[in-house]
Amino acid sequence: MRTVKVTSIIDPGKSYEYIDDGNPKQGGVKDVYFAPDKKYVVAFFRAPLDFNQKDRIKRIVTLYLDNIKKGNAADYFLQDIYRWPYDAVERDGKTGVIVPIYDTRFFFSKGYGANNSIKGGEKVGKWFTAPSFRNNQYPLSLDKSELGDWLSYFQIAISICRGVKKMHQMGLAHSDLSYNNVLVDPVTKSANIIDLDGLVVPGLFPPEVIGTADFIAPEVLKTKHLNISDPGRILPNQRTDLHALAVLIYMYLLRRHPLRGGKIWDLDAEKDELMAMGEKALFVEHPTDPTNRVRTDQLRKWDAFWGNPDKIPYTITGPYLSDLFRRAFIDGLHNPMLRPIANEWETALLKTVDLVQPCSNPACDEKSYIFDNTTKPVCPFCGTPHKGTLPVIDLYYKFKNDVWKPEGHRLMVYHNQYLFKWHVSRKIIRNESLAPEDKKPVGYFSFYQDKWVLVNQGLDGMKDLTEQKDIPRNAMVELGNGKRILLSNEEGGRLLYATIANQ
């Protein structure tokens, strides 16, 4: 074992050390060595890079890193969303990148329930996208303490969307977005996009790979037989990233693949795979074409619940996400221009989180579900009906003078549910650039003395329009059926309209 020192090829005044014990951690194309203080790794490409590949690396660790540092929410992206390489080195003709070490939360503390064989291993996303790993009957099931609940995966998906959105805003494409290149921690609801040294710059740096099976867009597989210089050949780009992003979100929330159904296209396994994911790709939940429906008799016992769309259809994700899944896997599956962009997924996920209703069964593994707009909602995971009345809040915005129009944004109320500034005003956008003071709740809902009430914690100008009464700070107002409350009288302020369901 020896300590090796290497010098930056960007700034010769900077140097880095790593421990070489002759047994580096091996990735797909890189050998990874740890710094003595474990604050970074030095990842060397096993094969020598050509001029273009080196130029790509240099730009990633300088120009594109600087773009993030100078942009909004730089710390958020560089600490919470990416493990972005920040320098490049060379040794013995091989190029290496300096990458910050993964946060400790992205390593398993227990791993498998049975034998802990992946304890200390990286929490790559694939562990959390299949039902088998969370089923106690399965020999390789993960320890329950590492799995989180259903809501954890909404926040994970939001983080991934923000990471993809930022890359695309900078003109980059990931090119190999998959559950192997995203680390997740359901306990802290975190996600980190890794392997960022192969980013695609359209027209400048072509992709090095076509992607990872399960996440390669149909048009890429359909044309992969063509020569790389053929104008008809489709290579990974931002639109193919959007296919991979939709697949990731579907798999995190529904724990199955949107295109792996029961249809066998060819008896040759390789040809069948090429057709099923490429030219003949078909959504397993297509509303009018049942060709690729999941064959429930082929499901393993530990996949029988989540793997069966009849039991857990994609529509349990609520109206906003269901619409995007249809656009991604029906309209946009073979027409890349129709795929939802990352920002649309982020907005839909955030609006869907406002539709969450806690499950009243304390033993429910998933803990909450999305309100399905029925009068008597039932948890789709454990079958427990909702207990008690259910206030539903619809938000309205001022169209002109005294004309209010629905915002298309609904807030489900439960005991101790918070009201935030992004509910109160159209001017506050809930994204990564949200100021700390805008993240604080300004009110909360409570079930108090057998009545649903809204308590004003921090809003001036709140008014009960039904009773024509002001609601000062620290005062409460009862939420009756048809109650109208002006949340703010400033420009962009919204009106709240309450409906009481499940009566």
CATH number where 488 lies: 2.60.200.20
Averaged confidence pLDDT in the chain = 92
Categorize the per-residue pLDDT at 434 as very low, low, confident or very high, splitting at 50, 70 and 90: very high
Domain-ending residue, one of 49, 81, 101: 101
| Position 370 in a domain | no
Do 158 and 295 fall within a single domain? Answer: yes
| Position 254 in a domain | yes
Do 113 and 73 fall within a single domain? Answer: no
> What one-character-per-residue DSSP string does 120-133 give?
T-B-BGGGGSSGGG
- Per the structure block, which two tokens stand in for 482? 């048809």
| Position 362 in a domain | no
| Position 361 in a domain | no
* CB contact at 8 A, 123 and 339: no
Whole-number pLDDT of residue 112: 65
Nearest 5°: phi and psi at 15?
-140, 160
- Per the structure block, which two tokens stand in for 498? 């309450």
CB neighbourhood size of 93 (10 A): 7
Do 183 and 288 fall within a single domain? Answer: yes
Whole-number pLDDT of residue 467: 94
DSSP state of 205: B
Question: What CATH number did the domain enclosing 26 receive?
Answer: 3.30.200
Do 325 and 395 fall within a single domain? Answer: no
| Position 359 in a domain | no
- Going by C-alpha positions, the residue among 63, 254, 250, 75 that lies closest to residue 170 is 63
Q: What's the mean pLDDT in 215-226?
A: 95
Whole-number pLDDT of residue 285: 97
pTM to 2 decimal places: 0.95
With 80 as the cut, is the pLDDT of residue 383 above it? yes
> What one-character-per-residue DSSP string does 35-78 give?
-TTSSEEEEEESSPP-HHHHHHHHHIIIIIHHHHHHSTTHHIII
| Position 363 in a domain | no
Categorize the per-residue pLDDT at 298 as very low, low, confident or very high, splitting at 50, 70 and 90: confident
Do 136 and 222 fall within a single domain? Answer: yes
Q: What's the mean pLDDT in 413-442?
A: 94
With 80 as the cut, is the pLDDT of residue 109 above it? yes
Whole-number pLDDT of residue 193: 96
Q: What's the mean pLDDT in 446-474?
A: 95
- The 3-state DSSP class for residue 482 equals coil
Categorize the per-residue pLDDT at 402 as very low, low, confident or very high, splitting at 50, 70 and 90: confident
- Per the structure block, which two tokens stand in for 242? 């959007």
With 80 as the cut, is the pLDDT of residue 437 above it? yes
Instruction: Give how many domains the chain has, as a whole number.
Output: 3
Q: Which of 3-17, 86-100, 128-142, 390-404 has the lowest mean pLDDT?
A: 128-142
Do 148 and 267 fall within a single domain? Answer: yes
| Position 182 in a domain | yes
For β-strands 182-185 and 190-193, DSSP reports them as antiparallel
- Per the structure block, which two tokens stand in for 404? 């209010």
Tell me how far CA of residue 40 lies from CA of 24, 83, 102, in angstroms: 14, 10, 8
Do 172 and 78 fall within a single domain? Answer: no
* Residue 97 domain boundaries: 2-101
Do 291 and 160 fall within a single domain? Answer: yes
Whole-number pLDDT of residue 115: 52
Categorize the per-residue pLDDT at 113 as very low, low, confident or very high, splitting at 50, 70 and 90: low
Q: What's the mean pLDDT in 335-342?
A: 98
* CB contact at 8 A, 31 and 44: yes
How far is it, in rounded angstroms, from Cα 284 to Cα 295?
A: 10
- Per the structure block, which two tokens stand in for 393? 């809040």
Do 131 and 91 fall within a single domain? Answer: no
Q: What's the mean pLDDT in 422-447?
A: 94
- Going by C-alpha positions, the residue among 109, 336, 155, 97 that lies closest to residue 237 is 336
Do 343 and 448 fall within a single domain? Answer: no
How far is it, in rounded angstroms, from Cα 172 to Cα 461?
A: 44
How far is it, in rounded angstroms, from Cα 43 to Cα 34?
A: 9
For β-strands 182-185 and 494-501, DSSP reports them as unpaired
Whole-number pLDDT of residue 151: 94
Do 35 and 182 fall within a single domain? Answer: no
The predicted-structure confidence for 469-501, as pLDDT tens digits, reads as follows: 999 999 999 999 999 999 999 999 999 999 998
DSSP state of 366: S
Do 96 and 153 fall within a single domain? Answer: no
* Exposure string over 369-391, b if 16+ CB within 10 A, otherwise e: bbbeeeeebebbbeebebeebbb
Categorize the per-residue pLDDT at 80 as very low, low, confident or very high, splitting at 50, 70 and 90: very high
Q: What's the mean pLDDT in 21-46?
A: 90
Q: What's the mean pLDDT in 209-222?
A: 93
How far is it, in rounded angstroms, from Cα 493 to Cα 489?
A: 6
Q: What's the mean pLDDT in 94-114?
A: 85
Whole-number pLDDT of residue 139: 73
Q: What's the mean pLDDT in 327-347?
A: 98
Query: H or E segment at 398?
Result: strand 390-400
Domain-ending residue, one of 304, 338, 354: 354
Question: What CATH number did the domain enclosing 309 receive?
Answer: 1.10.510.10
Q: What's the mean pLDDT in 392-399?
A: 94
| Position 367 in a domain | no
How far is it, in rounded angstroms, from Cα 412 to Cα 178?
A: 32
How far is it, in rounded angstroms, from Cα 170 to Cα 64?
A: 8
Domain-ending residue, one of 330, 354, 378: 354
